[in-house]
Amino acid sequence: MRVRRSAAALLLTAAVLGTVSAGPPADRGPFDARKVAATTLADGRTAFTDHHGRVLDLRGFNLDKYDETTEADLRELAGHGFGLIRIAVSWARLEPTRGHYDRAQLARLRQLLDWAGKYRLYAVVDFHQDVYGQYFVGGTGGAPAWATRDDGLPFTPDPDDWFAGYFQPAVQAAFRHLYDDPDLRRAQSELYTTVARELRGERALLGYDLFNEPFGPVDGDPADPAVLAAAAAELEQGRLAGMYRRLIAAVRQVDRDAWLFVEPTVLVGQGVPTRLPAFTDLRRGPDHLGYAPHFYDTAVEAGRDWDPAGGFVEAYTAAVTAYPRSHRLPVLVGEWGPPSAATPGNAELIRRQVTAMRTFAAAWTMWYWCHGAGGYCALTPDGRPAPGYEPVFTTN
């Protein structure tokens, strides 16, 4: 059962801490994500603030299947007291053929942002990919087939381990070409400029997550943690940093207000600190740049119940905090949560993740908003918080 604080308690908290929930219950004046700024708190964490300078408590969910999302879904999400959504979009869906943008898809995004504004939900648009794109995984996810160059190398998917696809020679080649080939770099930048031009001015648009779970070439045995860590560091300091600079410039051509979030590689989930450099924003005034790591335990992702003795939450927290604090970046945990919290370990994992994020995150979006039994769904089929998810729905 959801725990609600009384209106008096909420007002007292706001008066003492200057913190405002982003949910919809009360009229707090104009709602405009373009006015969101940031401030560094006494504990070193950088938080988002509204147009009055009050700290925002931004919590919410991913909309994985945004084409199926209805206005009722966003109304329900806001009704539970959440104030943030992350919308996963894909290059393949937005630009199915080179130079041809799907106007219906862009209109759909504007519709979602309009609904989000209606219910006072801030929105982050996530440029999403898994295993590079549709050439390898089918459907319309990630990069389009026309932007995929595999050098004729083999790709053999593993139905029991989708993530292993990243280490296939063809996928490695595709990432290398995306980072290195001038025409693909130009095409990707044009996509970001086009989307930013279409969506600028939407009052719910907080910003963009520039590239979901970045990956790249791994020279050596990926089963060796030292090899993976070295590859991640090389990527973050070289090719990925170059991509982020290009994409920041692409968005800033047409939108000077949106927040732009950079992601580290997924190794941060293994307690490996990012080696990303500092980035320069290309706007007048304070930077609108943020840091968007994910918060997944690989053992849990593989189907095991979480073991608190493994030290995952502590190692992650230690790995994730230094970079944003040194560069004064607000942290958006863009994805987190187990496939199910019906087991004791996974329920405890959720509780500890919520507690930990209070110490370092300005915002978070759980994966993801849906009704069902397991499968990452936070709600039961009848719309109640799923077993083990109660801490997510608790505001105090």
Residue 21: its pLDDT value, please?
A: 61
Q: Is residue 213 part of a domain?
A: yes
Residue 67 pLDDT class (50, 70, 90 cuts):
confident
CA distance 87 to 66: 7
Average pLDDT over residues 228-236: 96
Please give the model's pTM, rounded to 2 decimal places.
0.93
| 115-148 tens-digit pLDDT | 999 999 999 999 999 999 999 999 999 999 999 9
207's CB contacts (< 8 A; 6+ apart) are: 33, 124, 125, 258, 259, 260, 261, 288, 290
pLDDT of residue 334: 98
Tell me, yes or no, whether 37 lies in a domain.
yes
Separation of alpha carbons 26 and 166, rounded Å: 46
Q: Return the percentage of the chain with pLDDT > 90, whole number.
A: 87
Q: Could you tell me if residue 1 is inside a domain?
A: no
Q: Is the pLDDT of residue 6 over 60?
A: no
Return the residue matching tokens 């009722």. 72
269: in domain:
yes
Is residue 114, in this structure, part of any structural domain at all?
yes
**Band of the pLDDT at 66, cuts 50, 70, 90?**
confident
Residue 358 located in a structural domain: yes
d(CA 363, CA 302): 26
CATH of the domain at 107: 3.20.20.80
Which residues, 6 or more positions from 334, have their beta carbon under 8 angstroms from its beta carbon? 62, 86, 124, 126, 209, 212, 261, 263, 292, 293, 294, 364, 365
pLDDT tens-digit profile of 97-121? 999 999 999 999 999 999 999 999 9
Q: How far apart are CA 354 and CA 59, in angstroms?
A: 10
Query: CB under 8 Å to 185, separation ≥6 — which residues?
Result: 178, 179, 243, 246
In a domain, 68, yes or no: yes
Q: Residue 19 has what pLDDT?
A: 59
Mean pLDDT in residue range 215-224? 92
Distance CA 292, CA 38 (A): 15
d(CA 218, CA 35): 41
* pLDDT at residue 2, rounded to an integer: 28
* Interval 159-201: pLDDT, tens: 889 999 999 999 999 999 999 999 999 999 999 999 999 999 9
Q: Is residue 2 part of a domain?
A: no
pLDDT value at position 304? 95
DSSP code at position 149? -
The total number of structural domains that make up the chain:
1
pLDDT digits (tens, 9 = 90+) for 248-281: 999 999 999 999 999 999 999 999 999 999 999 9
Its domain, for residue 58, covers 7-393
